[in-house]
Each structure stands twice: as structure tokens, then as C-alpha cells.
Chains A and B, each alone.
Chain A
């Protein structure tokens, strides 16, 4: 049973606008959450993370929000750029570095 869910398989956004990716989890033991980005024929690369003691973490154009009561996190990309077109995976862990991943959301940034 998948413990991390990304219910939107795809997202199309215009260049310069905001991209919002959503992720839900079911395991209340998860205490660390990450987003990974993946280009075709490459391995995933770490993008941004957040600990359960925080509700927001920002890194340049990327911001992750965590709502523990709703077991929900989101990734905001502002402004979206063509190079952001990729698959984004949400991940969570309760045990050291043992990550559970969502199914991924494919983001397409339109010029």
C-alpha cells in the first residue's frame, strides 16, 4: 500500500507562472520529507527537503510547505522556467535515509 501519494500525474504551466505540486502521506511516523527531480535517462536528484518540526522551507525559486495535521506537503516553483520540465517525486522517511516515494508528477513548462 503506497504511503506517499501524488495524485496528479501531470502538470502543465506557462513559463513565468507558479507551479504547485501536491503530495499526501499516510504514515504518521514520517518525520522528514524531500522532493527529487528527474530528467529522462538520468537518476533523480535532490531538490529540497523539510523536517517535520518546520512548516516551510525555501531555497531560491523552490518552496516546500508541510501541513502535518493534514498529512500534506506541496512544492511551489516560482517563477517556472523551461528547465524545470521534469518528473518530480515526493519522498518521506521515518527511518534513517529509508525513503518512500510517490508515483511522480510530470511538469511541462510551456514557453
Chain B
């Protein structure tokens, strides 16, 4: 069955380290998204992509970057992790124009 997977599921790192969270989907969806979930804020969009080599900033993109070299993957990189980036991160994908996102199970990141 087609799916979307995130790794690692849990990560503890130190302030200033570079961290990459992986996201892989097998639906062949063009659209992919990264959200972070924080208490009281719900899900906030970090970056998104509508296809290979396309990337766009969301509402909370500072300190994060993404790249889209193929259809299946959209890795999220924290260049220099900060304690404010402690959160649960969700990757999602969608078919064009459906409005329905399919989410991964999340990656819990703790920055000490």
C-alpha cells in the first residue's frame, strides 16, 4: 500500500547542531508539506513544494530549509537547532487540487 513515512520518529539534539528530518511518500503526489505542531498553535506550515525543484516558505520558515530533488522525498533541515524548535513535526502530501492532505506519523524533536 502507498504510504508516507517519516524518520527518525524521535530525535534529541543539542543547540546549534544541524538536524535533518526525512519524509518519503510512495503515492507519487506532487504536493508535499512540512508542519510543526505546538500546544495552543495547532499545525503551522513550515515549507511546502508543488513539484520537483519547487520549494516555498510557509508561515514559520525561519531556521528551516527544504529541498525537492525527486517526487518522493522532501527532507526538512534545521541548519542550527534552537530550543524554540522543540516540537512535533509532520510531513504531508496531496494529489493536485484535492485539498486533502495525507500525513505521516510525526517526528518528535527535542533540542537541549
On A, residues with C-beta under 8 Å from B are 2, 4, 6, 32, 34, 36, 41-46, 49, 89, 91, 93, 96-104
Question: Which of A97, A100, A102, A103 touches B94 (beta carbons < 8 Å)?
Answer: A97
Contact B105 A43 (CB under 8 A): yes
A37–B99 Cα distance when bound, in Å, is: 15
B41 interface residue, CB < 8 Å from A? yes
Contact A103 B42 (CB under 8 A): yes
Contact A97 B105 (CB under 8 A): no
- CB nearest to B40 among chain A residues: A103
16 A-B contact pairs sorted by A residue (CB < 8 Å)? A2-B41, A4-B42, A34-B100, A41-B106, A42-B105, A42-B106, A44-B103, A46-B101, A49-B99, A89-B43, A91-B43, A96-B96, A99-B99, A100-B45, A100-B59, A102-B42
Chain A residues with CB below 8 A from B96, complex form? 96-97
On B, residues with C-beta under 8 Å from A are 31, 33, 35, 40-45, 48, 50, 58-59, 90, 92, 94, 96-106
Chain B residues with CB below 8 A from A43, complex form? 90, 92, 103-106
Contact B45 A34 (CB under 8 A): no
Contact B45 A44 (CB under 8 A): no
Chain B residues with CB below 8 A from A91, complex form? 43
A21–B53 Cα distance when bound, in Å, is: 39
Task: Determine how close the nearest CB of chain B comes to the CB of A5; give it in whole angstroms.
Answer: 10
Q: Interface on chain A toward B: helix, strand, loop, or mixed SS?
A: strand
A101–B45 Cα distance when bound, in Å, is: 9
Contact B43 A93 (CB under 8 A): no
- Nearest 6 A/B pairs, CB to CB: A43-B103, A101-B43, A103-B42, A101-B42, A97-B94, A46-B100
A41–B9 Cα distance when bound, in Å, is: 10
Contact B104 A99 (CB under 8 A): no
Task: Determine how close the nearest CB of chain B comes to the CB of A31; give it in whole angstroms.
Answer: 10
Task: Determine how close the nearest CB of chain B comes to the CB of A95; give it in whole angstroms.
Answer: 10
Chain B residues with CB below 8 A from A97, complex form? 31, 33, 94, 96-99, 101
A97–B100 Cα distance when bound, in Å, is: 7
A97–B56 Cα distance when bound, in Å, is: 13
